[in-house]
Amino acid sequence: MAASVVLNGSRSSAGVSEATRQRILSAASELGYSANVTARGLRNVRFKCLGVSCGYTDPFSTPDPRDSTNTSWMMADYYGSYLLNGILRAAHNRGYNVMHFHKAWRDAAHSAAGFRGQGIDGFLIIAPDPDSDMVSGLSALGIPAVVISSSSDQHGVPSVDVDNAAAVRMVLDHLLALGHRRIGYLMEPSDQVDHRIRRDSFLQGLRDSGLPAKPEYMVVASDADFKERVRALLTGPEPPSAVFACDDRTAIRLIQLAHEIGLRVPQDLSIVGFDDSPAASVVTPPLTTVRQPLSPMAEKATDLLISLVEEEPVATQTHWFDPVLVVRESTSPPIS
Amino acid sequence: MAASVVLNGSRSSAGVSEATRQRILSAASELGYSANVTARGLRNVRFKCLGVSCGYTDPFSTPDPRDSTNTSWMMADYYGSYLLNGILRAAHNRGYNVMHFHKAWRDAAHSAAGFRGQGIDGFLIIAPDPDSDMVSGLSALGIPAVVISSSSDQHGVPSVDVDNAAAVRMVLDHLLALGHRRIGYLMEPSDQVDHRIRRDSFLQGLRDSGLPAKPEYMVVASDADFKERVRALLTGPEPPSAVFACDDRTAIRLIQLAHEIGLRVPQDLSIVGFDDSPAASVVTPPLTTVRQPLSPMAEKATDLLISLVEEEPVATQTHWFDPVLVVRESTSPPIS
DNA sequence: CTGAAAGCGCTTACAG
DNA sequence: CTGAAAGCGCTTACAG
């Protein structure tokens, strides 16, 4: 009836008399009326709800390597926190709720249908596995989606990402300007696109600067063999005077191990991290690192998704964000 | 039709022939069928979705005091991360999704109705304001709810909380055993119940140990006047030899300020925090602090809520969790 | 054992 | 300008 028209302020609300209008509004507020989003959804109206999906094949499979108060996967890490902060803020500004929808994804044929009819208008997909057909699968079903932190505009799906190549270039320039010539790269085993891009950019940057990319300076260390491999790097015949770690967590472990070995940071070893995590400013020495503007990126992604959902025009490309080099005290000119 | 019966495994599924059953199942999997949760919800079936509400009056009102990559409110802080970790884990285990539903709450009459018909089976309410009628309001509407981090079992609503009094007692015992007699307490202005309980327990503990509770040792410092007030505490005529800070963030600021003033930690000043945040193990010196088992608490709360939703019997009381004193290097016997 | 029908709470054409 | 009706996709009694 007319009530619906008035309460939604829908286009045809012109055809309702002012008296009726008032009658409806006052009755509604008196009864504390609030529309049933569920019933409304059945009629193909917006749910005003966005889903957040991490693009992992099985988001909960990672065993918790740390203690019980600690976190075991992305959404509960500082990385996910920063993203969630931006997502919630942007969603709230436009009147949307946010739902965690971290379902395991097999392939489009098996998994895509489970993303419809869930009371969600569109999905934010975080760091999807490049081999997964999640993005194309949802896209094929006409489900609005935006990709965070993986510049995959292949499927006409917008995405946001930090310019990893630029970030690496900034770090390299910083270290080169300080006078470093023996620069190592330390990463965890990871098949994330971003990590691969960073590694490749590092090698490219070395080449561009006329420095050799020594294979022994490129270290991949897991939690298990971290000490062993890093010790080998730092105590070799010609150890690097600076190491760029793929993330802050790794960089901080590196600082601690360097101290154990008896190296001074930064005098004997300059260290650069990636992320500007909360711990970065608190370690000794405070960590030089690259800040990814994660919250702004997530806000942008959320805005894009809502625009998509509301059928506003949207640029289906990668929206790049500039990294910021945060220079603290873990880098200095090399002593020798 | 029968399809519904088979696919849901509902109680009367006995009355369906095996042939039909198979026919339905194979058709369903072939079509990639997945029930429309929305339509199902209209028929008063579970949505399999839990809402998370932070109990603030206006969850988004807090201005961001830090930089743009940083977080401005609970759900995006490490505190919220740890909770979210437990919530998502427990929800996932029982097949539930989690929705952020951080609506501003005026009072039950105005706000409660907006929590129905939202496609959410029940709410996890984080640290509700004690003056708010949010818990009783939802409860009165028959909406399942569980309270996290505020031991308010007043309304027949179960809750989980850490035993704050025991935590304070552990810290005090630790400091007393080290030989401290001049112990300060440092807190931010806060009207959270937990913070009040900690403060009161601290005063009580002092009394129990026959120590005077000097008012000048009880410092409330905001972000704005932190340096001024804490400096006054530490440089007074008879400064404390140990300070218990109400949370790690405050404790870490205290360490930094102590260093600025030229005090050695822990020799000149022992410092204890609260939370065991990620930064606690990384500062210099590593911080002695109380770990709240936030993830396990949140898991328990989520389990309780799901039981409530599924009408299993639930103890409508406060479920207490034991804090853990994590002794690191920011505490030692006093030098004088 | 199976199929046709009612109804959950809305919104949107459609008559009056 | 307003009210009665159809239908969104399900589930659950209810006939056949």
Q: Which of residues 235-294 of B touch A (CB under 8 A)?
A: 252, 276-279, 282-284, 291-294
**Partner residue facing B76 (CB), from A81, A97, A112:** A81
Q: Residue closest to D11, CA→C1'?
A: B43
Q: How far is B286 from chain A (nearest CA, A)?
A: 9
Q: How far is B279 from chain A (nearest CA, A)?
A: 5
Q: Measure CA of the first residue to CA of the last residue in chain B; give whole Å.
A: 82
The torsion angles phi and psi of A183, rounded to 5 degrees, stand at -120, 125
Predicted local confidence at residue B125, as pLDDT: 94
Predicted local confidence at residue B179, as pLDDT: 97
| pLDDT tens column, A135-174 | 999 998 899 999 998 776 667 899 999 999 999 999 999 9
CB contact under 8 Å between B114 and A71, yes or no, is no
Q: Are strands B97-100 and A97-100 parallel, antiparallel or unpaired?
A: antiparallel
A280 membership: H or E segment, kind and range: none
Contact status, residue A257 vs residue A230, Cβ threshold 8 Å: yes
Distance set, CA A216 to CA A115, A187, A331, B127, B133 (Å): 46, 13, 21, 51, 63
pLDDT in tens, chain A (336 residues): 667 677 766 655 556 777 777 777 787 777 778 888 888 888 888 899 999 998 765 656 544 433 333 334 566 678 888 999 999 999 999 999 999 998 888 888 888 888 988 999 999 999 888 888 899 999 988 999 999 987 766 678 999 999 999 999 999 999 999 999 999 999 988 877 888 899 999 999 999 999 988 899 999 999 899 999 999 999 989 999 999 999 999 999 999 999 999 999 999 999 999 999 989 999 999 999 999 999 999 999 999 999 999 989 888 889 999 999 999 999 999 986
Task: At B156, list the tokens.
Answer: 């027949």
Q: Residue closest to D3, CA→C1'?
A: A1
Distance set, CA B121 to CA A38, B88, B126, B204, B310 (Å): 12, 15, 16, 41, 9
